[in-house]
Structure 1
Amino acid sequence: MTHLPPLILDLGLILGAAGFTTLIFKKLKQPLVLGYIIAGLLVGPHFSLFPSIVETENITIWAEIGVIFLLFSLGLEFSFKKLVKVGGSSSIIALTEVVVMLALGYMSGKFLGWSTMDSIFLGGILSISSTTIIIRAFDELGVKTQRFAGLVFGVLIVEDLVAILLMVLLSTLAVSQQFAGTEMLYAVLKLAFFLVVWFLAGIFIVPTLLKKASKLMNDETLLIVSIALCLLMVILAAQVGFSPALGAFIMGSILAETTKAEKIEHLVASVKDLFGAIFFVSVGMLINPETIITYAGPIALITVVTLVGKVVSVTGGGLMAGQGMKTSIQAGMSVSQIGEFSFIIATLGLTLNVTSDFLYPVAVAVSAITTFTTPYMIRFSGPLHQSIEKILPNRWKSSINEYSSGAQAITTTSDWKLVLRSYAINLVVYSVIMISIAVLGARFVRPFISENLINGVWGDIISVGILLIFMAPFLWALAVHHPQKEAQGRIWANRNFRSLIIVLVFVRIGIAILFIELLLNQFFSVGTSVAVGLVIVALLVVFSKRIQNFYIRIENRFMANLNAREISEASKMHHSIVPWDAHLVSFDISASSAAVGATLFDLQIRERFGFNVAVIERGDRTIVAPTRNERIFPGDKIYVFGSDDEIEAFRNFIETAETSYANQDPDKEDITLQKLVVSSKSGLRNKTVRESGIREKTKGLIVGIEKNGERILNPDSGLRFEEGDILWIVGSPSRIKLLESGKTEKAEFQL
Structure 2
Amino acid sequence: MQVESLVRDLAFILLMGAVVTVLFKWLKQPVVLGYIVAGFLASPHFHYLPSVTTESNIEFWAQLGIVVLLFSLGLEFSFKKLLNTGGSAVVTAMIIVIGMMCTGFAIGHLLNFSHMNSLFLGGMLSMSSTTIIIKAFTDLGLRQKKFASLVFAVLIVEDLFAVLMMVVLSSIAINNSVEGSELLMSVAKLVFFLIIWFLVGVYVLPSALNRIRRYLNSETLLIIALGLCFGMAVFSVYCGFSLALGAFVMGSIIAGMSYAESIEAVVSPVKDLFGAVFFISVGMMVDLNVIVEYFWPILLLSGVVIAGMILFGTFGMLITGQSLRIAMESGFSLTQIGEFAFIIASLGMSLGVLDPTIYPIVVAVSVLTTFTTPYFIRMADPVYGFVERHLPKRMHFLIERYSENANSESETRVLWASVLKRYVWRILLYSSVVIAIMLLCLKYVEPLLLEFSPGWGRFITSVITLLLMAPFLLALAMPASRKTERERLVAANAHFDVPLIVMTIFRLLLALGFIIYAISAIHSMRIGWIVGLLIFVVMLCTFSGRLRKRLQHMEMRFFDNLNERELRRSGKNNNLVSDMHLAFITVGYGCPFVGDRLMDSNLRKKYGVNVASIQRGGHTLLVPNGAMRIFPGDTLGIIGTDDQIESILPVIERIDDSEPDTPAMADVKLTKVQLSATSELIGKTSATGQLRDKYKVLLVAIQRPDGTYMHPDGTTLFEAEDVLWIVGSSESVEKMK
Residue among 151, 154, 159 paired with 2:150: 154
Residue by residue, what CA displacement relative to the aligned partner does 1:174-232 show, whole Å, maximum 9, x if unpaired?
A: 36624414122322222111111111121111222222222222222222222222222
- For the Cα contact (< 8 Å) 1:476–1:547, is it kept in 2? no
> How far has the Cα of 1:517 moved from its partner?
0.9
Q: Which residue of 1 aligns with 2:591?
A: 589
- For the Cα contact (< 8 Å) 1:287–1:360, is it kept in 2? no
Q: Which residue of 1 aligns with 2:424?
A: 424
> How far has the Cα of 1:64 moved from its partner?
2.7
Q: Which residue of 2 aligns with 1:729?
A: none
- 1:338–1:151 Cα change, 3 Å: same
- For the Cα contact (< 8 Å) 2:130–2:155, is it kept in 1? no
Residue by residue, what CA displacement relative to the aligned partner does 1:631-675 show, whole Å, maximum 9, x if unpaired?
A: x99973579xxxxxxx988x98999xxxxxxxxxxxxxxxxxxxx
Residue among 619, 628, 633 paired with 2:638: 619
Q: Structure 2 length as normaliser, TM-score?
A: 0.72
Q: Which residue of 2 aligns with 1:580?
A: none
> How far has the Cα of 1:152 moved from its partner?
4.1
- For the Cα contact (< 8 Å) 1:418–1:484, is it kept in 2? no
Q: Which residue of 2 aligns with 1:186?
A: 185
Q: Which residue of 2 aligns with 1:513?
A: 512
Q: Distance in 2 between matches of 1:410 and 1:101?
A: 32
SS of 1:522's partner is helix
SS of 2:153's partner is helix
- For the Cα contact (< 8 Å) 2:62–2:274, is it kept in 1? yes
Q: Distance in 2 between matches of 1:366 and 1:595?
A: 56
> How far has the Cα of 1:440 moved from its partner?
0.9
Q: Distance in 1 between matches of 2:2 and 2:139?
A: 46
1:481-500 correspondence to structure 2 within 5 Å: 481-490=479-488
Q: Which residue of 2 aligns with 1:663?
A: none
Matched, 1:548 2:548: yes
- For the Cα contact (< 8 Å) 1:207–1:561, is it kept in 2? yes
Q: One-letter code of the match for 2:53?
A: V
> How far has the Cα of 1:40 moved from its partner?
3.1
> How far has the Cα of 1:121 moved from its partner?
4.3
- 1:357–1:474 Cα change, 3 Å: same
Residue by residue, what CA displacement relative to the aligned partner does 1:695-722 show, whole Å, maximum 9, x if unpaired?
A: xxxxxxxxxxxxxxxxxxxxxxxxxxxx
Q: Which residue of 1 aligns with 2:616?
A: none
SS of 1:565's partner is helix
Residue by residue, what CA displacement relative to the aligned partner does 1:310-351 show, whole Å, maximum 9, x if unpaired?
A: 222233234333444444334433433345655565566667
Residue among 643, 646, 652 paired with 1:636: 652
- For the Cα contact (< 8 Å) 2:124–2:341, is it kept in 1? yes
Q: Distance in 2 between matches of 1:211 and 1:136?
A: 32
Q: Which residue of 2 aligns with 1:304?
A: 303
Q: Which residue of 2 aligns with 1:337?
A: 336
RMSD: 4.1
- 1:31–1:174 Cα change, 3 Å: farther
Q: Which residue of 1 aligns with 2:716?
A: none
1:310-709 correspondence to structure 2 within 5 Å: 310-339=309-338, 342=341, 355-389=354-388, 391-414=390-413, 418-451=418-451, 454-490=452-488, 501-502=500-501, 504-541=503-540, 543-545=542-544, 547-566=547-566, 589=591, 592=594, 597=600, 619-621=638-640, 636=652
Q: One-letter code of the match for 1:589?
A: C
Q: Distance in 2 between matches of 1:77 and 1:198?
A: 18
Q: Distance in 2 between matches of 1:397 and 1:285?
A: 45
Please say which structure displays the higher CA radius of gyration.
2
Residue by residue, what CA displacement relative to the aligned partner does 1:277-328 show, whole Å, maximum 9, x if unpaired?
A: 3333333333332112112111211222122222222332343334444443
Which one is further off, 589-598 or 463-472?
A: 589-598
- For the Cα contact (< 8 Å) 1:101–1:126, is it kept in 2? yes
Residue by residue, what CA displacement relative to the aligned partner does 1:675-698 show, whole Å, maximum 9, x if unpaired?
A: xxxxxxxxxxxxxxxxxxxxxxxx
- 1:623–1:25 Cα change, 3 Å: same
> How far has the Cα of 1:390 moved from its partner?
5.3
Q: Structure 1 length as normaliser, TM-score?
A: 0.71
SS of 2:51's partner is coil
SS of 1:619's partner is strand
Q: Which residue of 2 aligns with 1:573?
A: none
- For the Cα contact (< 8 Å) 1:130–1:341, is it kept in 2? yes
Q: One-letter code of the match for 1:22?
A: T
Q: Distance in 2 between matches of 1:143 and 1:9?
A: 35
- For the Cα contact (< 8 Å) 2:101–2:126, is it kept in 1? yes
Q: One-letter code of the match for 1:173?
A: L
Residue by residue, what CA displacement relative to the aligned partner does 1:409-448 show, whole Å, maximum 9, x if unpaired?
A: 3433346655544433322222221111100111122223
> How far has the Cα of 1:518 moved from its partner?
0.4
By relative contact order (CA 8 Å, sep 6+), the higher-ranking structure is 1
- For the Cα contact (< 8 Å) 1:79–1:256, is it kept in 2? yes
SS of 2:566's partner is coil
> How far has the Cα of 1:458 moved from its partner?
1.7
Q: Distance in 1 between matches of 2:348 and 2:27?
A: 33
Q: Distance in 1 between matches of 2:345 and 2:24?
A: 24
- For the Cα contact (< 8 Å) 1:90–1:152, is it kept in 2? no
- For the Cα contact (< 8 Å) 2:286–2:367, is it kept in 1? no
Q: Distance in 1 between matches of 2:44 and 2:550?
A: 62
- For the Cα contact (< 8 Å) 1:168–1:242, is it kept in 2? no
Q: One-letter code of the match for 2:460?
A: I
Q: Which residue of 1 aligns with 2:672?
A: none
- 1:625–1:498 Cα change, 3 Å: closer
Q: Distance in 2 between matches of 1:134 and 1:373?
A: 11
SS of 1:566's partner is helix
> How far has the Cα of 1:558 moved from its partner?
0.6
Q: Which residue of 1 aligns with 2:629?
A: none
- 1:564–1:515 Cα change, 3 Å: same
Q: Which runs of 5+ in 1 are unaligned?
A: 570-585, 604-616, 640-646, 656-751
SS of 1:266's partner is helix
SS of 1:287's partner is coil
Which one is further off, 238-247 or 49-58?
A: 49-58
Q: Distance in 2 between matches of 1:105 and 1:557?
A: 48
> How far has the Cα of 1:520 moved from its partner?
0.6
1:124-163 correspondence to structure 2 within 5 Å: 124-130=123-129, 149-163=145-159
Q: Distance in 1 between matches of 2:282 and 2:140?
A: 28
SS of 2:99's partner is helix
Residue by residue, what CA displacement relative to the aligned partner does 1:232-290 show, whole Å, maximum 9, x if unpaired?
A: 22222222222222222221221222221222222222222333333333333333321
> How far has the Cα of 1:25 moved from its partner?
2.7
Same amino acid, percent of matched pairs? 39
Q: Distance in 1 between matches of 2:652 and 2:660?
A: 17
Residue by residue, what CA displacement relative to the aligned partner does 1:23-74 show, whole Å, maximum 9, x if unpaired?
A: 3333333333333333333333333333333333444333333332232222
- 1:503–1:306 Cα change, 3 Å: closer
- For the Cα contact (< 8 Å) 2:69–2:131, is it kept in 1? no
Q: Distance in 2 between matches of 1:567 and 1:29?
A: 40
> How far has the Cα of 1:559 moved from its partner?
0.9
> How far has the Cα of 1:496 moved from its partner?
6.7
- For the Cα contact (< 8 Å) 1:319–1:404, is it kept in 2? yes
- For the Cα contact (< 8 Å) 1:36–1:280, is it kept in 2? yes
- 1:592–1:350 Cα change, 3 Å: farther
| Paired residue total | 607
Q: Distance in 2 between matches of 1:287 and 1:567?
A: 48
> How far has the Cα of 1:525 moved from its partner?
2.2
- 1:116–1:52 Cα change, 3 Å: farther
- 1:385–1:115 Cα change, 3 Å: same
- 1:53–1:436 Cα change, 3 Å: same
Q: One-letter code of the match for 1:307?
A: I
Q: Which residue of 1 aligns with 2:111?
A: 112
Q: Distance in 2 between matches of 1:203 and 1:634?
A: 27
- 1:430–1:599 Cα change, 3 Å: closer
